[in-house]
Amino acid sequence: MIPVCETVSGKKFDLDSFKEVVKLSKEATLLWQKVLKTSCNEAAPLSFLTAQFTWDQL
């Protein structure tokens, strides 16, 4: 898989860079999970449906 990625990107595979990207991706996923959990509260500050309905009314 690495040779294919190198061919497509035109760059040599860098393990340290890959580790950093995976770390940042995990951090972003965990932060997004926190955002989604806010809509589970009783008085949710937002939901997808509320946002969609509001946007459609504009």
pLDDT of the residue at 2: 92
| CA dist 29 → 4, 17, 21, 32 (Å) | 26, 18, 12, 5
* pLDDT of res. 34: 85
Residues 39, 33: Cα–Cα separation, whole Å: 10
Task: List the chain domain ranges.
Answer: 2-57
Over residues 29-56, the pLDDT tens digits come to: 998 888 778 777 666 666 666 666 665 6
pLDDT-derived band at 6, boundaries 50, 70, 90: very high
pLDDT reported for residue 35: 78
Q: Are 10 and 2 in contact (CB under 8 A)?
A: no
Contact present, 13 and 2 (Cβ < 8 Å): yes
Question: What six digits make up the tokens of 11?
Answer: 């760059």
Residue 47 contacts residue 39 (beta carbons within 8 Å)? yes
Average pLDDT over every residue of 11-28: 95
